[in-house]
Amino acid sequence: MKMNTSFLMSFSNLIKGFLLFSFLPTFAQQSVETENIKPNIVLIMADDLGYGELSSYGSKKIQTPNLDKLASQGIKFLDFHANGPLCSPTRAALMTGKYQQRTGIEGVITAANHRDVGLNLDEVTLADELQRLGYTTAMFGKWHLGYAESFNPIYQGFNTFSGFVSGNIDYHAHVDQEGYLDWWKNNNIENEKGYSTDLINDYGIQFIKKHNSNTTGKPFFLYLAQEAPHYPIQGRHDKPVREKGSKKYIRKVPKDSIQTIYEGMIETLDGTIGKLLNTLKNEGLEKNTIVIFCSDNGAASSRGDNGVLRDYKASVYEGGHRVPAIMRYPGHFKAGTLNTTPILTMDILPTLLDFANATPTGKHVDGVSFKQHLVQGDSAPERNLFWVFRNKKAVRQGDWKLVKTIEDTVVTLDLFNLKVDLSETQDLSSSYPMRVQKMDKILTEWEQDVRSGAPTVAK
């Protein structure tokens, strides 16, 4: 018997259509589930690393192949800024997503004078937020937001902590500037042998392997706050320069060796980061992990290199706060992207929460999410940006930057156009008096706002 060919084709298409629509909900569900998977997060912060100290940022002396590769795989930021030109203020902004002035941490929490103060436990930290979202959280390295045990990271959102709480320690002896042993395992002081750069990174690698989200089903947040290249200037195989119970150096580093050792510290840091990135790859975590690298402020003194930028750490000129920053998230960021949008440390918190499909719950969060800008290329929000350290203050509006210096009763106002004068050498204040007046008013009003009701922790 002959079959009707057109009938068979129609019947076949009907079956195909039925099967297709039967599977569509499944595919749609898988797509939604993939979109809702929270990414792992690895945040690496260098200490006193200058704008010109990575080979991908123009260094001819220092070779940083691993960070260069990371930049080629994601976004290299050319206009990223530390919130403060010093350690503690930037870290307070990183943890809270707000201007550090609101936390009362405007200056360094020092080993000598601030051993009983720290970041208020009422602050909602980045770790608190991610822990609330189901993340396993860990911090290894430099805290610098409170010396006392009561301010320990494990009370501020971190499940695990190993590292130090002061501004710097001997890389080998782990002794701070006041002669105190400063190496912690959670909230207990417990020393161990090793070069701090290696120890911090090794803890990070162990954490990744132990908390592999492919195995545990839970995302993780890993904060690696490296000490390098902050002083003391010590290489991996050097001897200690401090000892417990003494404020004095027990060994001086030869002056003609300082620069070589310093540059080697950065290359060692880069090498450890390479090992960590290889771990993510070998553990099958590379695609679903956001990796962020940045510095807490510009390079310190003449041994550091801030490229064409003016000044160094502790300054509100660009050399004090414009820092190298890199971000990678495969499948979300186009590889090899150069980003020229002004972004601050405090923006990291809301941006990461946005990637985790959440918004900040803390009060007065000043940072903004750049997720859509980074992923979709949406326009970045326009806003004024501010930096303050002691008698120097700065406000930025677009390409314009006003630097205000107060010496006793003498006030100096300098205006720069960063688009044509990134080195801040040409004061244009006399040519644009109305702009100067307007920006100075904005700066004054901002200071009043962020200090209103704020505690005093460190000035």
Q: What is the pLDDT of residues 51-72, one digit of tens each?
A: 999 999 999 999 999 999 999 9
Which residues does 316 contact at the CB level (< 8 Å), separation at least 6?
A: 85, 387, 388, 389, 392, 393, 394, 403
Instruction: Find out whether 72 and 335 touch, Cβ atoms under 8 Å.
Output: yes
Query: CA 362, CA 435: separation in Å to the nearest integer?
Result: 34
Task: State which of 339, 366, 383 marks the end of a domain.
Answer: 383
Output DSSP code: residue 319.
H
Instruction: Find out whether 208 and 215 touch, Cβ atoms under 8 Å.
Output: no
Band (25; pLDDT cuts 50, 70, 90): very low
Which residue range(s) make up the domain with 345?
Answer: 37-383
Query: What digits encode the pLDDT tens for the residues 261-276?
Result: 999 999 999 999 999 9
Please compute the mean of the pLDDT values over residues 20-39 and round it to a whole number.
47
Identity of the residue numbered 345: T
Instruction: Find out whether 35 and 44 touch, Cβ atoms under 8 Å.
Output: no
Please compute the mean of the pLDDT values over residues 419-434 and round it to a whole number.
99
Calculate the average pLDDT of the chain.
93
Percent pLDDT > 70 in the chain is 92
Q: Is residue 96 part of a domain?
A: yes
Question: Would you state the torsion angle of the CA atoms of residues 334, 339, 342, 348, taken in this order, to the nearest 10 degrees?
Answer: 30
Query: CA 277, CA 254: separation in Å to the nearest integer?
Result: 34
Percent pLDDT > 90 in the chain is 91
Count of domains for the chain: 2
With tokens 């690393």, the residue in question is 49
Residue 73 and residue 189 in one domain: yes
- Three-class DSSP category at 93: helix
Q: Is residue 25 part of a domain?
A: no
- The number of angstroms, rounded, from the C-alpha of 245 to the middle of its chain's C-alpha atoms is 33
Please compute the mean of the pLDDT values over residues 194-201 and round it to a whole number.
99
With tokens 């490229």, the residue in question is 307
pLDDT(16) > 90: no
Band (37; pLDDT cuts 50, 70, 90): confident
Residue 165 and residue 143 in one domain: yes
The pLDDT assigned to 1 comes to 40
The count of other CB atoms within 10 Å of the CB of residue 26 is 9
**Which of 457 and 33 is assigned the larger pLDDT?**
457
pLDDT(196) > 60: yes
The pLDDT assigned to 301 comes to 85
Residue 66 and residue 143 in one domain: yes
Query: CA 365, CA 384: separation in Å to the nearest integer?
Result: 15
The pLDDT assigned to 15 comes to 41
pLDDT(195) > 90: yes
Question: Would you state the torsion angle of the CA atoms of residues 374, 225, 296, 105, taken in this order, to the nearest 10 degrees?
Answer: 110
CA-based max dimension of the chain = 109
The pLDDT assigned to 110 comes to 95
Query: What digits encode the pLDDT tens for the residues 224-237?
Result: 999 999 999 999 99
Query: CA 296, CA 93: separation in Å to the nearest integer?
Result: 10
Task: State which of 383, 406, 421 marks the end of a domain.
Answer: 383
Task: State which of 383, 403, 436 marks the end of a domain.
Answer: 383
Please compute the mean of the pLDDT values over residues 110-134 and round it to a whole number.
97
- The number of angstroms, rounded, from the C-alpha of 392 to the middle of its chain's C-alpha atoms is 23
Residue 284 and residue 398 in one domain: no
Q: Is residue 391 part of a domain?
A: yes
pLDDT(105) > 90: yes
Residue 350 and residue 438 in one domain: no
123: tokens are 């602050």
The pLDDT assigned to 285 comes to 99
Residue 291 and residue 397 in one domain: no
The pLDDT assigned to 35 comes to 52
Q: How many CA atoms lie within 13 A of 194 on its CB side?
A: 15
Please compute the mean of the pLDDT values over residues 404-430 and round it to a whole number.
98
CATH number at residue 279: 3.40.720.10
Residue 357 and residue 441 in one domain: no
Residue 155 and residue 234 in one domain: yes
Query: What digits encode the pLDDT tens for the residues 235-246?
Result: 999 999 999 999
Query: What digits encode the pLDDT tens for the residues 281-340?
Result: 999 999 999 999 999 999 998 799 999 999 999 999 999 999 999 999 999 999 999 999
Q: Is residue 22 part of a domain?
A: no
Handedness of CA 182, 388, 406, 231 (dihedral sign): positive
Residue 416 and residue 404 in one domain: yes
CATH number at residue 412: 3.30.1120.10
Say whether pTM exceeds 0.85.
yes
**In this predicted structure, which of 32-36, 103-107, 230-234, 299-303 has the lowest mean pLDDT?**
32-36
pLDDT(82) > 60: yes
